[in-house]
Amino acid sequence: MPILIRDARPEDRDAIVAIVPRLRAFGEVALYSPQQLDAGERETLERVLETRPEGDKLVVAELDGLGVVGLAYGHPESDYFTHETYGHLGIIAVAEVGEGKGVGRALLDAIEAWSVASGHRFLTLNVFDANTRAQSFYERAGYARDTIRYYKKRD
């Protein structure tokens, strides 16, 4: 089944929002409720769809007969140490119906191509510690760990 990767359009909003809960399908996280995670991701995606920030890239994946089954959002960031602009994969998600069909890899490839075309020397992403499936996916795609974030909850 061929995968079509294309720029997201405002009319994709409902399909994109419907995929948002997949970003937490791996389980719970320590600092945020499921509602907070969904709201934050939804707000980001809706803002990007509405404002089209210069330099950002929001793509969707379509499968014949299924419509939009995935999305990926890349944006430029500035390196803390060197102030170099680099690419950051902020969001990538695949609907359950799209799993195992190469959709995630096609979306990742699209954001990597955007980053290269933008002249970035490297591309980063974040993944929750409990999301071991995503970690394996990124490692198979050639990504390596860089920093590890720690937290301490204050009651």
pLDDT at 81 over 90: yes
pTM: 0.95
Tell me the average pLDDT across 54-77.
97
Residue in 111, 108, 98, 104 with CA at minimum distance from that of residue 63: 98
Write out pLDDT tens, residues 89-138: 999 999 999 999 999 999 999 999 999 999 999 999 999 999 999 999 99
The token pair that represents 63 in the structure block: 């499968």
Contact yes or no for 76/88 (Cβ under 8 A): yes
Whose tokens are 């937290």? That residue is: 151
Contact yes or no for 108/3 (Cβ under 8 A): no
Domain boundaries, the chain: 3-140
Residue in 35, 31, 25, 21 with CA at minimum distance from that of residue 134: 25
Task: Give the homologous superfamily in CATH for domain 3-140.
Answer: Gcn5-related N-acetyltransferase (GNAT) (3.40.630.30)
Predicted confidence band at 84 (pLDDT cuts at 50, 70, 90)?
very high
Specify the pLDDT at position 155.
77
- Phi-psi category of residue 12: left, alpha or beta, with phi > 0 → left and psi -120 to 50 → alpha: alpha
Specify the pLDDT at position 124.
98
